[in-house]
A and B are shown apart, each in its own frame.
Chain A
Amino acid sequence: MERRKLLKLTAAAGVGAVVGPQILVRASLPVYAQGSTVKVGILHSLSGTLAISEVSLKDVELMAIEEINKAGGLLGKQIEPVIEDGASDWPNFAEKAKKLIEKDKVATVFGCWTSASRKAVLPVFEKLDHQLWYPVQYEGLECSKNIFYTGAAPNQQIEPAVTWLLKNKGKKMYLLGSDYVFPRTANAIIKSQLKKEGGTLVGEEYTPLGATEYNTIISKIKAAKPDSIFSTLNGDSNVAFYKQLKDAGITAKEIPVMAVSVAEDEMRGIGGKTALGHYAAWNYFQSVDTPANQAFVKKFKAKFGKDRVTDDPIEAAYIAVQLWAMAVKKAKSFDINKVRLAAYGLSLDAPEGRVTMNTNNHIFKTVRIGEILADGQFKVVYATPQPVKPEPWTPLIPTPFKGCDWTKGGNIKASLDSRDSSVALTLP
């Protein structure tokens, strides 16, 4: 019985996608809109090696949901989170995504951290025509109608960071990353950019995820004498790398490290004194000086304790929930496709500043570069004057043309150049 209902639903969604949302008429209300609550899925690794990063995202998503519920809920319903543990295991992510959609009948899902987990759930969300909000910066080269990306695309983090390094620290760059898809793709982008902007690549190294011995690589770095190191190391390795770099007598003045996966939360394990003076590129830092951020940090600390810190993915997870709620209000419906269309053009005064949802499912974001202070916080040393337009398909890597303007029926590359400020709302 349930299966038949589901088949019908999927078929209806499939037909809807083909004929266009305007003639999509469903006989009855979708399952998630019945009753006095609406369920949403939260899918993160709460155990395993990635719990270190993802637990905070779950926390802040619950905080955002609680705020919306306190303010009266959505369309007269309270939001009921259904939390699933992806357990740092990609097949498990796909299973849990399927369970959330089919069994729990959630209205939308917030989740994932690694690109591997996102790639694992992507076919599930596309096949069942459902919706995922993905809150982490990533390597780009993807644009699914069924995923909203609230973290940075490469042109909103990696590319500006490279340009800044070349301009301020010198032309010779050393690339160091963990051995998986994000660092390899990021470095392919960087290498192409170095060629274009007159930089020199003096070395490129990858270490297995979780590696803790960096003295040999540091010897190689010493021998190569770079002006800067671009680090795409992830997770535990960062602690070992910064400690051993300092031990080898290399200071941030001599060879600064620019990281794209080290934020305030990771700094708690590294220690500000150990990584003093090195840099990280993000869209958001806890130290960003906006009224929206001051309120956000205050709420976060009040809820989770004064030792806890906010950071970029945490903020991106928070605004994902807020943007979804805004889109639901605008669409006056929980329907996936109506919400998606309503989301385009929405602006929000987020903690990081004004963000706007582009028609390619990514958002306009301000790019910032922060210098690490002794207390593990970042001092913003550079920020773009305007939010940067998201370009998931970087022109720096040749790929077959892929567009993602879903408002125009699919594969047309277009963008939301004139941001519609009339729909701008502020946080509750």
Chain B
Amino acid sequence: METVVTQLFNGLSTGSILVLVALGLAITFGLMGVINMAHGELLMVGAYVTYLSQNFFTAYAPQYQGWAFVVALPLAFGVAGLVGFLLEWSVIRFLYGRSLETLLATWGVSLIFQQLFRNLFGANNVDVQSPSWLEGGIALGDGLQFPFRRLFIILLAGLCVGGAYWFLNNTPWGLRIRAVTQNREMSACLGISTRRVDAFTFALGSGLAGIAGCAVSLLGSVGPSSGLNYIVDAFMVVILGGVGKIFGAVAGGVALGEAKTFLEFLTSSSLATALVFSLIILFLQIRPAGIFPQKGRGVDL
């Protein structure tokens, strides 16, 4: 019983990380059709911002150390968003509608970023200490423990999803983004600057990657090539969930997280990864457009 509860929680927690990582990608890939292979590196930008924030507080305000992470969250969103904006402005805007070229270009960008991190921060992983208020966890009886870090990440994922949903549905910018996604030409005719919407959307997706970076720095390693570990999973979540849908990313992430932990418990880690891949392939045979397909009149869906 305890094991089942623990495993359900583990699955949810793994899933919430996947959701966080995939959310930004769901926006750039889903809404804009940009295959951004540098998404993992934008995530690393967020993680390194967390690291820098921690160092800043250690050096200048050690008594407020616990706030370092709180400060890092909006900062990571801002910095990663800015980097995303520059990336869109310098590379991606020339490649809209040419997904293969975007894939190659952003892959190149991701390699450049990795080497840049390596030159700036050294080839070694850096140590991000979580704030003391996230240490430990809620212990329920014998052997059942919900770590605060995991709970916090689940909460953060919920907030980000809610925030993104609210933004896309209730703000003028969100409505413009959706309009451009649905019909670019018509939106342009109605006076929406699609150029600016593109740049803004990409920056938003990148900013969310930055927040995900803060979150993963709590759990794993922060190093120049850590971003690579997340990119494959993020794409799987987006494709499984249904391209262009925020709830697709949530459903995909949680389903994948639960499936992964469940299979891993029954088999082994490597086998579980292979099984999950096989299941996704099977699922996409039945529902090629994912769990929540984009509604539309296109014949390819």
Contact = CB atoms under 8 A, between A and B. Distances in A.
B270 interface: yes
Nearest to B14: A213
A269 B261 contact: no
Contacts of B149: 247
A274 B127 CA distance: 10
A244 B219 contact: yes
B63 interface: no
A421 interface: no
A274 B217 CA distance: 13
- Give the interface SS of chain A, mostly helix, strand, loop or mixed: helix
A219 B269 CA distance: 13
A235 B210 CA distance: 23
A216 B261 contact: yes
B171 interface: no
A247 B6 CA distance: 13
Interface residues of A, number: 43
A217 B271 CA distance: 13
Interface in B142-195: 143, 145, 147, 149-150
A43 B165 CA distance: 51
With most chain B CB atoms within 10 A of its CB, the pick from A54, A179, A206, A247 is A247
Contacts of B222: 269
Nearest to B129: A271
B224 interface: yes
A240 B220 contact: yes
A212 B229 contact: yes
A239 B220 contact: yes
B223 to A, nearest CB: 6
Interface in A48-62: 48-49, 51-52, 54-56
B97 interface: no
Contact of A236 (B7, B129, B220): B220
A47 B143 CA distance: 42
Contacts of A274: 127, 129
Interface stretch (B83-91, B117-125, B196-204, B237-245): B117-125
Interface string A205-227: 11110111101110110110000
A274 B129 CA distance: 8
A274 B260 CA distance: 26
Given A179-B270, A208-B269, A212-B229, A236 B124 contact: no
Contacts of B139: 249
A222 B143 contact: yes
Given A219-B6, A240-B219, A205 B127 contact: no
Interface in B101-126: 114-115, 118, 122-126
A271 B229 contact: no
B127 A219 contact: no
Contacts of B221: 212, 236-240, 269
Contacts of B219: 212, 240, 243-244
B50 interface: no
A273 interface: yes
Given A52-B223, A210-B228, A247 B150 contact: yes
A329 interface: no
Contact of B269 (A49, A207, A269): A207
Contact of A219 (B3, B129, B137, B224): B3
B265 A205 contact: no
A205 B268 contact: yes
A210 B270 contact: no
Nearest to B18: A213
A268 B124 CA distance: 8
A222 B150 CA distance: 18
A7 interface: no
B206 interface: no
B294 interface: no
Nearest to A55: B123
A248 interface: yes
Contacts of A211: 229, 269
Contacts of A46: 123
Contact of A47 (B10, B118, B268, B270): B118
Contact of A205 (B6, B115, B269): B269
B124 A248 contact: no
A312 interface: no
A269 B219 CA distance: 12
A55 B125 CA distance: 12
Given A205-B269, A269-B125, A216 B10 contact: yes
Nearest to B115: A47
Contacts of A54: 123
B127 A270 contact: yes
A261 B14 CA distance: 26
A127 B213 CA distance: 47
B123 A216 contact: no
A265 interface: yes
Contact of A217 (B143, B224, B269): B269
Contact of B225 (A48, A205, A206, A247): A48
A243 B137 CA distance: 13
Contact of B147 (A207, A247, A273): A247
B145 A215 contact: no
B65 interface: no
A232 to B, nearest CB: 14
Given A243-B220, A247-B150, A215 B118 contact: no
A213 B18 CA distance: 11
Contacts of B143: 222
Contact of A269 (B124, B137, B264, B273): B124
Contacts of B28: none
Interface in A183-222: 205-208, 210-213, 215-217, 219-220, 222
Contacts of B208: none
Contacts of A223: 3
A216 B272 CA distance: 11
Given A51-B225, A179-B270, A236-B221, 20 more contacts: A49-B225, A52-B124, A55-B123, A208-B270, A212-B216, A212-B219, A212-B220, A213-B260, A216-B264, A219-B7, A239-B125, A244-B147, A249-B145, A249-B147, A265-B124, A268-B124, A269-B222, A270-B125, A270-B127, A274-B129
26 contacts: A47-B114, A51-B118, A52-B123, A52-B223, A52-B225, A55-B124, A179-B269, A206-B268, A207-B269, A207-B270, A208-B269, A210-B229, A215-B13, A215-B150, A215-B261, A216-B265, A219-B3, A219-B265, A236-B225, A243-B218, A244-B147, A247-B137, A247-B150, A248-B137, A269-B221, A274-B127
Q: Which 4 A-B pairs have the closest CB atoms?
A: A269-B125, A239-B221, A247-B147, A240-B220
